[in-house]
Amino acid sequence: RIGNLLVPNDNYCKFEDWLMPILERMVDEQDTQGVRWTPSRMIARLGKEINNPESICYWAQKVLGATGGALGGCHRGCHRVPPLSQNNIPVLSPALTDGSLGDMIFFHSYKRPGLVLDIVEDLRLINTQAIFAHKTGMIILGGGLVKHHIANANLMVRGPRVGEGAWRGAGGSPRCLPAQRNGADFSVYVNTAQEFDGSDSGARPDEAVSWGKIRVDATPVKVYADASLVFPLLVAETFARSADAFAVPAGTP
């Protein structure tokens, strides 16, 4: 989180020097190869260009030998599309242009206009993943746009506008269509926002239940704390305890 860091101004100059050639190549690929960029595809591209194992975006796009797969909530692969990254871990950012990255995109647009980022495709991606997942869970650090965007995806239900017809097999037979979402099954909020300020950030889990963003039979939790301090402790007591069980042995292809 940028608020926890001291960033010398020179770092922004280095960031610009690194990013501008990438934006230039992205426009080239858009114009010559018909690449349709979305925020998640751009983040995957930046992860590849970073080429640093300390980066989450690097691992999200890293090629581990897989060349395709299912993208969407269905674990059986009923919705097959070209993967955003070989690990099939799209990093979604509905406010990609908010911040230094957006500044650089703005500056570059005067040097070479024309780069298009399709936010609608990413919107469909996050919503359909929630709709067709058998279970969903939310760990929301902080508030604002990200909190609402994730919770709102869990509000969506399968119906005539998101029909079954697009989710059938080659012979027209239905394929693993789960029940309607109607809210996340598991939810953890970590933020310091208060309900009385009237913001979405301060809205408690019971507000999300009233909208259908969290299931009525769920047991959500809100932790009133600074996420950058508390989240590492939560990970240490949960996911990290089982890390060895998911480790890939050295030398595994």
Q: How far is CA 105 from the centre of its chain?
A: 20
Structure tokens at 30: 């858009």
Q: Which residues are catalytic?
A: 213
Please choose, from the candidates 118, 111, 117, the residue with its C-alpha nearest in 3D space to the C-alpha of residue 20.
111
Long-range Cβ pairs for the range 240-246 (8 Å, 24+): none
Residues with Cβ < 8 Å from 10, sequence gap 6 or more? none
What is the C-alpha to C-alpha distance for residues 136 and 154, in angstroms, rounded to an integer? 8
Q: How far is CA 14 from the centre of its chain?
A: 26
